[in-house]
Structures are given as structure tokens and as C-alpha cells.
Structure 1
Amino acid sequence: MNDSIILHHYENSPYAEKIRLMFGFTNTRWHSLLSPVYPPRPNVDPLTGGYRRIPVAQIGADIFCDTALIAQEVATVTGCAALDPATVEGDALALMKQAEEKAFFAAVAAVPQLRLLGTMLRSFGPIGTYRFAKDRSSLLRGGTSRPPAAAKAAGVLQSFLDALEARLAEYPWVGGDAPSVADFACFHPLWLHVSCNRKPLAAGANVLRWYKAIEEFGHGQRKEITQAEAFEAARSAEPRALPTSTEHGSLQIGQVVQVAPLDYGVVPVSGTLAAVTENRIIVARESKQFGTLHVHFPRAGYSLAAG
């Protein structure tokens, strides 16, 4: 299990769905460990040091935060370079950014409030809905993300759908002639909208054709594991060799630092700076439970400061 990808996730997570579909596209064998919908997450928190967001991926004693970085790992493990976000450019990159920023938050805000409430009650029950809403209301505090007002959300979502329809009228996939990470990035806010709205997606013929094709990839070869198994994989492995570090300002390798997302879920993770590359920050965390863990973050969109 030390060499296999473990995905810490929950079923209704749109970000996790993005990664699960990548597993389906590549027919990857992976291990699934279901997590609580909101913190605390006892299967994740001891590994990451309190990283707020989900999903988190694990390969032995290396822990990967943020789906941009997880996608890079999936690309490496599967040998499918098209799943690396660094390979996306041009119109596909613009659509991918639109999906992951404005369209993602609009996907929820565009759902009528009573229908959204009904969806949460079905999924979480009354107490769970209260806790979920309270948790998500604090998620944006201190971050740079600003979701659209409910009155504008439908227009924001429609603008994305129109741009996607135009792209897919020209190419079968967002990135061109073959599927890529851009397709999964554009899919996941629409999947979230459909899940919350409990209605078929209202979109053009090309988007609907594409949406169905993405769904049909499935989730690959999934095997459920326990928290104890995931922890044993972390405890029994050594972190992989570190990459050569690049320029990282006044901070020194070996210095105690804090890393946090800039947009939302801005809960910092503390550790010793182990490496900084052009696109990655790696911090080392020591504990009696696991020994040394390396926690990986994207460099883009994250703050790195002395701890």
C-alpha cells in the first residue's frame, strides 16, 4: 500500500469527484478512505497538521494537498501527462480558470435556496446541515475568494456554460482532440450544481454530450481501506527523495514555516521547510505517531511564511 494512492475524501465533494474521474479515465487502482464532510477529520488532520480542505492524497509518508497538486501526482503515477495542470494553455486554460474560480462558487449560489436546503437535509440531516452550513460560512473568512451574489450567480454560471459550449462546438474535449485535466476541472463545478439542484444540467447539446462522456469514465478500481491502514502506510514508509530547491526568498531550508491557502480555508500548516521548487512547497512534520512526513502544497495560491 505504500506505493498506492490513498484518497481521503467524501462522496459529495466536487473536488474529490474531479480526482475520482481522473482515476476512472486512467483505470487506476486506488485506495479510498472516506472522511467527515467538515472538520475535525481524524483520518486527515494528524497527517497534514490541520489542512482545512479536502480531498487529500497520500502515498506512503508523502501527503499531497490541493487538487492541482494531486492531479500532478496522478499524472506521474499513471504516466498520463495530460492530467498535469502545467500542460494546459490557451483557451483551455482560460476555461479551466473560469471553472475553478467564478463558476465554482456560482454553481452553488445559482441553486434556489429552498432547493439547496432540501439537498443538504437529505444528505446530512437537520443537525448535520446546521454544522455543515456553519462550517462553510467560515470557510471564506480571511481569504481572497469572493463568491458572486445570489442575484448574479445564474448569469455567471450561464456565461461559463456559453463559453464551454462554444469551445466544445469546435473540439470534442476542452483541451482539443483528447481528454485532459481541463475537462475534469470544467466538469466538477457543473457536477456540484447538478448535485445541489437535483435536476439535469440545463446546457447546450455539446456540453451535454461532453458531460455524459466524462461521467462514463467512472472512478477506476476503487478499494475502501480503514484509517488504521492509511496510518500504517504513513508510519511504515520513508518520505521520497526531495527535489532540488529553487529560490525561496529569505527563508532557509530547515526553518520552521507556515503554509496556507490564499483564497479560502486559510488554516496554516506548520512544519520545517524541506524543499521549494518552481511549483511546489514541501514541509516536513515530525511526530511520535508517524515519524517524518512530507506534506506537499502547490506554490501558486499559497502563502509561505516564517513560523
Structure 2
Amino acid sequence: MNEPLILHHYDGSPYAEKIRLMFGLTGARWSSLLCPVQPPRPSLDPLTGGYRRIPVAQLGADIFCDTALIAKELAVMLDCPALDPDAVDAEAAALMDYAQGKAFFAAIGAVPTPRLLVTMLGMFGPVGTVKFIKDRINLVKGSTVRAPQGEKARAVLNTLIDDLEARLETHQWVGGEQASVADFATFHPLWLHVSCSRRALDAGPKVKAWYQRVSEIGHGHREEIAQEQAFASARDRKPRPLPDSVADAPVPLGTEVQVAPADYGKVPVSGTLAALTEDRIVLTRDTWQFGTLHVHFPRNGYSLTAQS
């Protein structure tokens, strides 16, 4: 990359860990802007228009939401096709989907409640823990996902671990003979579970060895930056040229729209529909702080509605 990508994240974010490992795989230089664990996020909210989830990537006046889309961007920016989620085979894709879906929401529920509370108290303190729990309850209000608890959660997580052990019997990495986005997508819910339980992963030898290999990939060359540097990057640059839009867009370009995740964290972002491709939604946001911004979302898993 000519200009380091800015990653808005916090260190305990499992989805951010997936992206940080991509920098590690490629040895990339990147800029880190740490955010609060829960909103408000003063260094990020003005850029995205209030997008709830994290991490978010920034390249000048272009803002990229959702790790699936960030991975596709990095595959091109870093000339590493292995980071493109569309490049993995069907079996690896199925593992990724299970890991990022059912297993992700089971990763915390599989941790005994007393141990989880001790972990959160150590991370956030008493007041911070209460705020964190309230925020996460609000995050999943009205969601289409249900997080299993206790034995049900452990069964879901064990299914992922067993399927992963079987996959690794014939492959060195989840995606084949080299590390790829499939490994990082499968790794991050297990990383979350280990972080919350503060215990080594309970798994077979193949999974344990793979988990160690992924852990050792590292995060590339990380440089901490301040809010003003990210704001200046957005303010001083123009968005890149827009991609060609599909001919049969359900909403005409130039329409005032809202985009929101379809599953959880359904906080809408408002803007003008600037582009709509087979796999991407791009909104224009005209801001007093930065001028024109383009905010990018994947089409898969996101709703697009015209503002009434």
C-alpha cells in the first residue's frame, strides 16, 4: 500500500484480530487508532455516520465497514488473493460461515459465568463491566441471532473444533496449503473464547498446533496514531473513483437511503446512494468536518432502504 490503511479498533475485538492477522500474514504497515469498547466513539462516529460495529478501516476519505469487505480491500491493496473470502473452496467457506455465525455467538456463552465475570472485571472494572453488559444487550436487541449458553454453547463450539480437526487432517491450513482468510475467520471465535476463559484451547492435536501457528503470524508493522491524524486524512483527500453500478439496482443512484446490518447491531447509516455493485453498497456522506466521504458496505448481510 502507498498509504497505510487506518484500522479503527480495540485490542480485545475478535473481529479486529481477524484483520490484524491479515496485516501479519503480509507483513504490512498499518495505522492503529484505538476506540472505546462501546459507543460513543468520537474518533469514528463522525466518519461512519454512526455505524455500530467494529473494526472499521479507513483510506483517506473512503471508509470500509464489515470485515468481509475489509478483507476484500486488503486482498487487492496488499496483492494477496488469499485474503479474499471469495477465493476459498466450498469446504473452507462452510467452516468460515459456521465459525463466524453459530460458533462466534457461542464463544462467550461457552465460558462459565463466574469465570467470565472475573475476566470482565479485570478488563473493565465494576462500573465498566456493567456498562459493557448493558451495551451488548442493546447490541443484540431486535437481532436475528440467538446466542446459546452453557452446554448448548459448548456443543456448538465443540462442533467447530471437531470439524476443524478433521479438516486439518488433510490440510496444513483451513484453506489449503497456505494461510488465508479462512484461517483467520475460523480462528477469531476461538481466540475470543480463549481470551474470555483465560484457559488454553481444549482441542485435538491438529487444532492446537494450527492455533499456535496462527497466533505466531503476528500483526505486521503497527503504528499508533491519534484521532486528528485520521480526521486530517479524511479531510485532506478526496474519495477514490466509484465502481460501476449494476443496471438493475433496486434503489436508483442519488436516492437518500439508509444502510444497516441485517442481523444485529442494526444502527442505520444515512447517506446518498453513490454506487451499488454485485457485492458492495457505497454511500456518499457530505460532512461539515471532512467534506465528501464514501462509506462502503458489503451487500451480503446488509439492508438498503430509501429514506421516506
Q: Same fold (TM over 0.5)?
A: yes
| Aligned position for 1:183 | 183
| Aligned position for 2:211 | 211
Q: Give the Cα–Cα distance (whole angstroms) in 1 for the partners of residues 149 and 222 of structure 2.
A: 38
- What do the CA deviations read for 1:226-276 (whole angstroms, capped 9, x no partner)? 000000000000000000001454411111000000111000000000000
CA contact (8 A) 1:2 1:237 kept: no
Q: Which amino acid aligns with 1:81?
A: P
Q: Structure 2: where are the runs of 5+ without partners?
A: none
Q: Give the Cα–Cα distance (whole angstroms) in 1 for the partners of residues 176 and 244 of structure 2.
A: 34
Q: Does residue 120 in structure 1 map to residue 120 in structure 2?
A: yes
Matches within 5 A, 1:148-297: 148-297=148-297
Q: Give the Cα–Cα distance (whole angstroms) in 2 for the partners of residues 32 and 40 of structure 1.
A: 18
SS in 2 for 1:6: strand
SS in 2 for 1:265: coil
Q: Give the Cα–Cα distance (whole angstroms) in 2 for the partners of residues 48 and 32 of structure 1.
A: 17
CA contact (8 A) 2:282 2:297 kept: yes
Q: Which amino acid aligns with 1:184?
A: F
CA RMSD of aligned residues (A): 1.1
Q: Give the Cα–Cα distance (whole angstroms) in 1 for the partners of residues 105 and 296 of structure 2.
A: 25
CA contact (8 A) 1:61 1:239 kept: yes
Q: Give the Cα–Cα distance (whole angstroms) in 1 for the partners of residues 7 and 185 of structure 2.
A: 17
SS in 1 for 2:111: coil
- What do the CA deviations read for 1:30-81 (whole angstroms, capped 9, x no partner)? 0000000000000110000000000000000000000001111111111001
Query: 1:283 offset after TM fit, Å?
Result: 0.1
Q: Does residue 73 in structure 1 map to residue 73 in structure 2?
A: yes
Q: Give the Cα–Cα distance (whole angstroms) in 1 for the partners of residues 266 and 144 of structure 2.
A: 10
Query: 1:149 offset after TM fit, Å?
Result: 3.5
Q: Which amino acid aligns with 1:216?
A: E
Q: Which amino acid aligns with 1:113?
A: T
CA contact (8 A) 1:62 1:234 kept: yes
CA contact (8 A) 2:62 2:240 kept: yes
Q: Which amino acid aligns with 1:299?
A: R
Deviates more, 1:104-113 or 1:243-252: 243-252
| 1:270–1:78 Cα change, 3 Å | same
CA contact (8 A) 2:110 2:149 kept: no
SS in 1 for 2:169: helix
Q: Which amino acid aligns with 2:81?
A: A
Query: 1:3 offset after TM fit, Å?
Result: 2.8
Q: Give the Cα–Cα distance (whole angstroms) in 1 for the partners of residues 144 and 200 of structure 2.
A: 32
Q: Give the Cα–Cα distance (whole angstroms) in 2 for the partners of residues 29 and 273 of structure 1.
A: 32
Deviates more, 1:139-148 or 1:94-103: 139-148
Q: Give the Cα–Cα distance (whole angstroms) in 2 for the partners of residues 27 and 2 of structure 1.
A: 14
Q: Give the Cα–Cα distance (whole angstroms) in 2 for the partners of residues 214 and 150 of structure 1.
A: 27
CA contact (8 A) 2:260 2:266 kept: yes
How many matched pairs? 307
Q: Give the Cα–Cα distance (whole angstroms) in 2 for the partners of residues 2 and 146 of structure 1.
A: 42
Q: Structure 1: where are the runs of 5+ without partners?
A: none
CA contact (8 A) 1:8 1:44 kept: yes
Q: Give the Cα–Cα distance (whole angstroms) in 2 for the partners of residues 249 and 220 of structure 1.
A: 39
SS in 2 for 1:295: strand
| Aligned position for 2:141 | 141
Query: 1:2 offset after TM fit, Å?
Result: 8.4
CA contact (8 A) 1:65 1:297 kept: yes
